[in-house]
């Protein structure tokens, strides 16, 4: 579901939490309360959330919100593949389709701030085309496209 469209966001949250729980079980990892809460906070909406916002919210809720705790929780979630980092904003968003390795890319709307994950297969296609054309071998990639989402374009 593109973030720009009206949708039942509670469904996004519950799917994300269920998937994360399943991935942890499959890999024998522990979803501790702070990890779970950080994931929920990242999924509050489709806008990228900075680590400092997470720190502030966690400390309000009485968690041990020392920066290392939060960064460790984020590292765990990144490693599990349930969140992605948006480098240009130094912020985090939930993954649309966790559970397998994939290249990431995002549309970031400058109006509403939502980040929509680019379909991994389109990124793959683009990479294949570029590799073929320029015989450059790609190791890492970072596609962050800014502009107006469908919704904001319609109301502009």
Give the CA distances from residue 130 to residues 5, 120, 122, 126, 135, in Å, rounded to whole numbers and listed in that order: 31, 15, 12, 6, 7
Separation CA 138–CA 128 (nearest Å): 9
- Is 12 labeled as ligand-binding? no
- Does 95 sit near Zn ion (CB under 5 A)? yes
Strand partners, 117: 106
Among 2, 9, 69, 99, binds Zn ion (CB under 5 A): 9
Establish if 112 lies at the interface with Zn ion (CB under 5 A): yes
Provide the minimum distance between the beta carbon of 14 and Zn ion in the complex, in angstroms, as a whole number.
10
149 is in an annotated binding site: yes
Binding mask 125-154 for Zn ion (x = CB under 5 A): ------------------------x--x--
């Amino acid at each position: 579901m593109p973030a720009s469209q009206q949708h039942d966001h509670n469904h996004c949250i519950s799917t994300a939490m269920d998937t994360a729980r399943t991935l942890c079980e499959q890999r024998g990892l522990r979803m501790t309360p702070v990890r779970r809460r950080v994931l929920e906070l990242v999924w509050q909406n489709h806008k990228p959330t900075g680590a400092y916002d997470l720190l502030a919210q966690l400390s309000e809720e009485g968690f041990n919100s020392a920066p290392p705790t939060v960064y460790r929780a984020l590292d765990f979630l990144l490693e599990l593949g349930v969140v992605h980092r948006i480098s240009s904003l130094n912020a985090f968003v939930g993954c649309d389709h966790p559970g397998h390795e994939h290249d990431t890319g995002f549309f970031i709307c400058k109006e509403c701030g939502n980040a929509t994950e680019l379909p991994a297969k389109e990124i793959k296609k683009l990479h294949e085309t570029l590799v073929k054309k320029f015989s450059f071998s790609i190791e890492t990639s970072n596609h962050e496209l800014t502009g107006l989402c469908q919704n904001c374009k319609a109301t502009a």
